Amino acid sequence: MKRRTGQDQSITRQWRPATQAVRGGTARSEWGETSEAIFLTSGYAYDCAAAAAARFAGEQQGMTYSRLQNPTVEMLEGRIALLEGAEACRTMTTGMAAMTAVLLCQLQTGDHVVAGRAAFGSCRWLVDTLLPKFGIETTVVDARDPQAFEDASKANTKVFFFETPANPTMDVVDLKAVCDIARARGITSVVDNAFATPALQRPMEFGADVTAYSATKMMDGQGRVLAGAVCGTEDFITNTLLPFTRNTGPTLSAFNAWVVLKGLETLDLRIRRQSENSLKVGAFLETRVPRMLHPGLASHPQHALAMSQMDACGPIFAFEVADRKQAHGLLDGLQLVDISNNIGDSRSLMTHPASTTHYGVAEDKRLEMGVTEGLLRLNVGLEDPQDVIDDLDQALTAVGL
């Protein structure tokens, strides 16, 4: 395909994020389409046998198989890399495929990982269950304390792995402090940035080596498809991550890549409006519930740090009620907000992590993470925030809050 006129790195990297989200990575066929084309093909034809051999040997540019390259997928990877400020990006089938690949591609028996204790349930499963199966040692720390990473590091520590803000407790990690420790020790810092996306937070600007995403969330943003992404240096993506993914096959489909491309076009608009809505809803809830966990509100213990790293607070926060009975009663009383374990959607969604997203985490570990029986996580969507507030008001009243 022919790249769009002017679509070279020296120009596209000068564009501001909102422009990159619409035009970054665009490639056009000979038909000159304005909307990115979906290339639904598994394989590619060659002019001759020698050309096929040259492509497989890396001596000739071109596609060989859609488990490795696809024009639509490459456009998405180019766009995400630009938004992230990264040299390269590799997309995958889901966010968890991205998290799994980014760890296993660089670790082996005898290595050690330091991970933040507050994390999505499946990410904790990777740290607590999967990695140890391969003889990879793991230590879980309170990621809010940078010194905890320093203290847990060993001679064989290869990776720091953490989320910020963390799912679902909204713990905030000091990106610069932790990444500085990693750099000084030759450790690779891997940041799960799914809650913020590069539209609100760019960990590489604070020294992160690698960022990983569930692009299912804010990047698609409308609850349509699953996707994941990993960003890093060209060397890391090509020589460390790609050999793992090309042979294990967590390949993103062209259709899903196209849907996420369309989602990125409105990411900046959606995430900023949802952040504004989230602040309004959070301010209301703070007056009604026992405990609020919203990094955008001054009451959050890490509010100043969050706002120094993020352009806005994002649409997601958590709060606590008395117990599971009251939490489930509140959910059952909702008339507008959906009960759903997804986040980043344009619709307002709420879930009870202890019985859904973190159900598979042992109770003692859930409590260590701060995932109590009364914790609820709310994704505030694009509805009129007053309608969301009214719905929460009547549901809270129904359960005595």
Task: Specify the pTM.
Answer: 0.94
Q: Residue 190: which residues within 8 A CB-CB, separation 6 or more?
A: 102, 103, 159, 160, 161, 162, 208, 209, 210, 211, 212
pLDDT band at 4 (very low <50, low <70, confident <90, very high): very low
The answer to whether the CB of 111 falls within 8 A of the CB of 136 is: yes
Q: What is the spatial distance between Cα 114 and Cα 253, in angstroms, rounded to a whole number?
A: 32
Residue 187 DSSP symbol = P
Cβ proximity of 312 and 200 under 8 Å: yes
Cβ atoms of residues 363 and 391 within 8 Å: no
Tell me how far apart the alpha carbons of residues 8 and 14 are, in angstroms, rounded to a whole number.
10
Does residue 350 register a pLDDT over 90?
Answer: yes
Give residue 12's pLDDT band: very low, low, confident or very high (50, 70, 90).
confident
Integer Cα distance of 345 and 253 in angstroms: 21
- Taking residues 91-107, what's their average pLDDT? 98
Q: CB atoms < 10 A from the CB of 333, how many?
A: 16
* pLDDT tens-digit series, residues 339-349: 999 999 999 99
One DSSP character per residue, 37-97 reads PP---SB---SSHHHHHHHHTTSS-S--BTTT--HHHHHHHHHHHHHHT-SEEEEESSHHH
State residue 2's pLDDT score.
47
Give the contacts of 264 (CB within 8 A, at least 6 positions apart). Answer: 21, 22, 76, 79, 80, 83, 219
Q: Is the dihedral of CA 183, 84, 358, 394 positive or negative?
A: positive
The tokens describing 9, both together, are 């790195």
Token look-up 């990693």 returns 182
* Residue 220 clears pLDDT 90, i.e. is over it: yes
**3-class DSSP state of 219:** helix
Using CA atoms of 107, 110, 116, 118 in order, give the dihedral in degrees to the nearest 10: 90
In angstroms, the CA 270 to CA 265 distance is: 10
Among candidate residues 129, 164, 167, 124, the one with its CA nearest the CA of residue 145: 164
Average pLDDT over residues 266-295: 97
Confidence of residue 10 (pLDDT cuts 50, 70, 90): confident
Evaluate if residue 42 carries a pLDDT over 50: yes
Q: Write down the pLDDT at residue 380.
A: 98
Most distant CA pair in the chain, distance: 75
Q: What is the mean pLDDT of residues 23-28?
A: 89
Residue 90 pLDDT grade (very low, low, confident, very high; cuts 50, 70, 90)? very high
Tell me which DSSP letter residue 208 carries.
-
What is the predicted pLDDT for the residue at 292? 98
- Asked if pLDDT for residue 7 goes beyond 90, the answer is no
CB atoms within 10 A of CB 168: 31
Check residue 9 and give its pLDDT.
Answer: 72
Report the pLDDT value the prediction gives residue 184, as an integer from 0 to 100: 98
**DSSP three-state, residue 365:** helix
CB atoms within 10 A of CB 211: 29
DSSP helix/strand/coil, 3: strand
> Residue 289's pLDDT is what?
98
Cα–Cα distance, 61 to 58 (Å, whole number): 7
Amino acid letter, residue 347? R
Average pLDDT over all residues of the chain: 95
**Nearest-angstrom CA–CA distance, 153 and 158:** 9
Using an 8 Å Cβ cutoff, are 229 and 213 in contact?
yes
pLDDT digits (tens, 9 = 90+) for 128-150: 999 999 999 999 999 999 999 99
